[in-house]
Every structure is written in structure tokens, then in C-alpha cells.
A and B are shown apart, each in its own frame.
Chain A
Amino acid sequence: AQSVSQHNHHVILSEAASLELGCNYSYGGTVNLFWYVQYPGQHLQLLLKYFSGDPLVKGIKGFEAEFIKSKFSFNLRKPSVQWSDTAEYFCAVNAKAGKSTFGDGTTLTVKP
């Protein structure tokens, strides 16, 4: 069965600090990888996705993620966070058609 592990449950940063959130998955076949964000009081929305091609993908609001197949990882990065990035971040994997697995989420708090 596929699984997704997010290593950091809660991250606290000051504005302008760099961010890296870890995501590892377990599945031996082809996967589609996603990062979603949930801002306080809002729906989950897509930050970025990968399913083929360049393993470094760029998303909205300056976020990027790198797919490293040999490490089964899809870590999320941002060079300089802002207070408005305070949110919960979820890594997700789609392997078998329709069977989607989410990580437990990482709560990011950015102090102004």
C-alpha cells in the first residue's frame, strides 16, 4: 500500500527565513505528486504538482519542489517565507488511478 510521510509536524520560522518541508512516499511504481496548502479558514488548494519531465517544479507564490526518484522524496522549498505563508501544507501521492494518499500535514507558522 502507498504511504506518505511528512517529517515536520510544526515548523516555526521568522519572516525571510528559508523553508524546506520534507515529504517521502512509499510506492514502487509511477506516481503523481502534489503539494497542497490550506490557509486558515480556507479550502485546500494546489501549490504545485509533478507527474513527468523536469523534476524541479515551480508553483504559486514562489514555492518549488524537487522530485528525487531514488530517494522517494518530493520536498517543498521557498527561499524566503512571508507572514502570509502561515498555513498547513500537505504532500499527496496518486498512484493507482483514483487512490490518493495524503501526508499528515505540516503546520507552518511564520512570525512577523
Chain B
Amino acid sequence: NAGVTQTPKFRILKIGQSMTLQCTQDMNHNYMYWYRQDPGMGLKLIYYSVGAGITDKGEVPNGYNVSRSTTEDFPLRLELAAPSQTSVYFCASSYSNHNEQFFGPGTRLTVL
């Protein structure tokens, strides 16, 4: 049982490049989330999903896209990377709204 896995761990992008951050969970959780964490700013919700085929915007969705074609996977897409997207990205999952979220190890992204 690996929990929540994220790839890559680190990435450096040039302005305007695109990339996909991968997130997979093996706990059969319905809910999945993407957050970004900036220094001293806590976690900000980017997108979330309450089940396969269902996604919704969080607090800071601009510049990102997501899809949820399976229960296990919830990739986050950056289409045109900007320096403001330099951050640490965390994926999480939970069984329901009442239950705790389980977090992945994070992806540290730098856009230069």
C-alpha cells in the first residue's frame, strides 16, 4: 500500500513550457485534491475531485487544468508555465469530506 505517490519530486521549467504533475493513490479514495504551498502562505487548493469524471475549481485554479478519468489518478497540467507558479505542489486524497486527507510527498517546481 503506497498511499499517495507524486512524480516528479523536482522540476525546473522555462517560462512558457508545459508539464503534467502526476498523482496516484491506491486507497480507493473518492476525493482527490491538488494544493500549492508557498513559503509562509499555507496550502491553497487548486482543484479537487469528488469522484472519477468530476472535478471542480478550488481557490487558485488559474493557469492549471486537471482531469480524473480513473479513481486512482488525478494529474495536474500546467500549460504555459509562469514564474508565479514556482511552488511546492501537494496531491492528497480522502475517502469522504469527513475523513482525513492523505498527502503525497510533494513536487518542488521552479519556473525560470
Residue of A32, A44, A90, A97 ringed by the most chain B CB atoms within 10 A: A44
Interchain CA distance A67-B63 in the complex, whole Å = 36
List of A residues within 8 angstroms of B56 by Cβ = 98-99
Q: Are B103 and A100 in contact (CB under 8 A)?
A: no
- Whole-angstrom distance between the Cβ of B104 and the nearest chain A Cβ: 7
Interface size on A, residues (CB 8 A): 23
A74 on interface, CB distance cutoff 8 Å: no
Kindly identify which residue among A9, A46, A102 contacts B35, using a CB–CB cutoff of 8 Å: A102
If A97-B50, A98-B49, A105-B42 touch, whether A49 touches B100 (CB-CB below 8 Å) is: yes
Q: How many A-B residue pairs have CB under 8 A?
A: 58
Tier of interface size on chain B: 20 to 34
Contact of A100 with B48 in the complex, beta carbons under 8 Å: yes
Nearest chain B CB to A91 CB, angstrom units = 9
Is A44 a contact partner of B103 (Cβ separation < 8 A)? yes
Q: Is the Cβ of A104 less than 8 Å from the Cβ of B42?
A: yes
Nearest B-chain residue to A103, judged by Cβ: B42
Residues of A within 8 A of B45 (CB): 99-102
By the criterion CB–CB under 8 Å, are A100 and B42 in contact? no
Min distance, Cβ B9 to any Cβ of chain A, angstroms: 12
Contact of A98 among B44, B50, B103 (CB under 8 A): B50
Which residues in B have their C-beta under 8 angstroms from that of A44?
A: 43, 90, 92, 101, 103
Residues 13-65 (chain B) with a chain A CB within 8 angstroms:
31, 33, 35, 40-45, 48-50, 56, 58-59
Cβ-neighbour of B42 out of A32, A34, A94, A102 (below 8 A): A102
> Which residues of chain B are near A32, meaning CB under 8 Å?
97-98
Alpha-carbon gap, A60 to B98, bound state (A) = 18
Does residue B8 face the partner (Cβ distance < 8 Å to A)? no
Query: Can you list 24 A-B pairs with a CB-CB distance of less than 8 A?
Result: A9-B40, A34-B100, A43-B103, A43-B104, A43-B105, A43-B106, A44-B101, A44-B103, A46-B101, A49-B100, A92-B101, A94-B98, A97-B50, A98-B31, A98-B33, A98-B56, A99-B56, A99-B58, A101-B45, A102-B35, A102-B45, A103-B42, A104-B41, A105-B42
Identify the 9 closest CB pairs spanning chains A and B, nearest first. A104-B42, A46-B100, A102-B43, A44-B103, A98-B48, A98-B50, A43-B103, A97-B97, A105-B42
